[in-house]
């Protein structure tokens, strides 16, 4: 039996590529060549393919979807987020779109917690000081930050990742507050305080951690008006979606000290980083490491292939339809 052709746009963990090569006529990108940044090139390379395994950031917008050959039956994205895919356009062409929910929640919450600690304890500044040879020994007032103990953590988006972060923060004796479109069930809240308004939420917290999906509804959600609602000296962490932050407004608040410090793992237009952040000592910057653990990336790849197998090898419904 002829194996279905599968286009894989990015270099994936070795075990995932090996499984794909075993079960499919797999077109791999083992060198991670940057052709994946060009939607027209993706469509060209998909000629004759039954499936596409893409990744976050790949330009799978309406133009790319329209240019895909009729042979494509499924797009499986190596991510939970699907804002890089024009899902309505794909569905209109009868193309299934799947993602990788559930397997990366803990890892992404870990990065959010890492950024919280880095921002609170000025870890980025300290690491740069040591590497620059500018550390001359312990001093009573050197790089004093703030403790997270007893602080009020505000979680914007109380889904799987937000709830994992809440569990971690409780171990630091933090008080949990959250804002979402609807209140969570009591067993999910575990005592967390729900806020119905932005003003009430932002005015009550010491640390804001953002976990909202992408799209127009959340674009520049953290703007100058909402930043002004934060308590002076608040911390801001974003490991969700880069476009949900108004970069100019956050940078201005970091310069004045209204926001004491920030920790960012995602950026609007990444890999481009808003230039003003690079000159600010009180912002910790990570290169989109949210799901970057060996265990999580392996699980994501397995989930992608499970979705592809269901549709292309067994003729069944996709397991994780986006």
Q: Residues of the chain with pLDDT > 90: what percent?
A: 98
| b/e code 146-161 from CB counts within 10 Å (16+ = b) | bebeebbbbbbbbbbb
Residue 238 has pLDDT above 80, yes or no: yes
What are the two backbone dihedrals, phi and then psi, of residue 193, each rounded to the nearest 5 degrees? Answer: -95, 120
In the predicted model, is pLDDT for residue 228 greater than 90?
yes
The alpha carbon torsion through 59, 63, 69, 73 (nearest 10 deg) reads 60
Around Cβ 232, how many Cβ atoms within 10 Å? Answer: 10
The residue extents of the domains of the chain are 5-103+294-313, 105-285
pLDDT at 38: 97
75, 60 Cβ separation under 8 angstroms: yes
pLDDT of residue 214: 85
Query: What is 105-285's CATH number?
Result: 3.40.50.720
Segment 251-265, tens digit of pLDDT:
999 999 999 999 999
β-pair partners for 321: 98
Q: Which two tokens stand for residue 256?
A: 């004045």
The position carrying tokens 């990788």 is: 100
**Average of per-residue pLDDT values in the chain:** 97
Q: Between β-strands 193-195 and 175-179, what pairing exists: parallel, antiparallel or unpaired?
A: parallel
Q: For 266, phi and psi rounded to 5 degrees?
A: -135, 155
pTM: 0.93
Query: What's the confidence (pLDDT) of residue 292?
Result: 97
d(CA 202, CA 186): 22
The per-residue pLDDT for 245 is 98
Could you read off the pLDDT of 26-65 as tens digits, one per residue? 999 999 999 999 999 999 999 999 999 999 999 999 999 9
Tokens 């980025």: give the residue.
124
Closest CA to 87 of 249, 186, 214, 256: 214
Fold of 5-103+294-313: Rossmann fold (3.40.50)
81-129 confidence digits (pLDDT tens)? 999 999 999 999 999 999 999 999 999 999 999 999 999 999 999 999 9
Res 1 pLDDT > 80: no
- Please determine whether the domains at 5-103+294-313 and 105-285 fall in the same fold group of CATH: yes
State pLDDT tens for residues 6-16. 999 999 999 99
- Residue 319 tokens, joined: 């397991």
What share of the chain in percent tops pLDDT 70? 100
DSSP state of 196: S
Please give the positions annotated as active site. 241, 270, 288
Residue listed under structure tokens 């989109």: 288
Q: What's the confidence (pLDDT) of residue 215?
A: 85
Instruction: Convert the pLDDT of each residue in 273-309 to its tens digit.
Output: 999 999 999 999 999 999 999 999 999 999 999 999 9
Q: What is the pLDDT of residue 287?
A: 97
């Amino acid at each position: 039996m002829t194996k279905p052709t599968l286009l894989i746009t990015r270099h994936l963990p070795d075990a995932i590529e090996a499984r794909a090569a075993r079960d499919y006529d797999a077109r791999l990108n083992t060198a991670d060549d940057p052709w994946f940044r060009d939607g027209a090139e993706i469509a060209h390379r998909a000629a004759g393919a039954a499936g596409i395994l893409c990744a976050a950031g790949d330009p799978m917008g309406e133009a790319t979807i329209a240019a895909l050959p009729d042979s494509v039956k499924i797009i499986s994205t190596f991510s939970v987020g699907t804002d890089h895919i024009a899902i309505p356009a794909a569905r209109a062409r009868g193309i299934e779109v799947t993602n990788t929910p559930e397997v990366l929640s803990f890892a992404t919450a870990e990065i959010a917690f890492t950024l919280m600690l880095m921002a609170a304890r000025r870890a980025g500044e300290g690491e740069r000081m040591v590497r620059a040879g500018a550390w001359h020994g312990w001093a009573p007032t050197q790089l004093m930050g703030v403790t997270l103990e007893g602080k009020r953590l505000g979680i914007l988006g109380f889904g799987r990742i937000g709830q994992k972060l809440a569990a971690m923060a409780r171990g630091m004796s933090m008080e949990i507050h959250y804002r979402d479109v609807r209140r969570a069930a009591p067993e999910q809240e575990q005592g967390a305080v729900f806020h119905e308004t932005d003003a009430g939420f932002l005015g009550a917290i010491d640390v804001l951690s953002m976990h909202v999906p992408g799209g127009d509804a959340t674009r520049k959600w953290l703007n100058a008006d909402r930043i002004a609602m934060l308590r002076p000296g608040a911390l801001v962490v974003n490991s969700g979606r880069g476009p949900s932050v108004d970069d100019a407004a956050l940078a201005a608040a970091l310069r004045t000290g209204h926001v004491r410090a920030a920790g960012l793992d995602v950026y609007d237009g990444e890999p481009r980083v808003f230039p003003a952040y690079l000159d600010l000592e009180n912002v910790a910057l990570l290169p989109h490491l949210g799901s970057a653990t060996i265990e999580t990336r392996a699980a994501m790849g397995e989930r992608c292939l499970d979705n592809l197998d269901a549709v292309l090898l067994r003729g069944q419904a996709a397991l994780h339809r986006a």
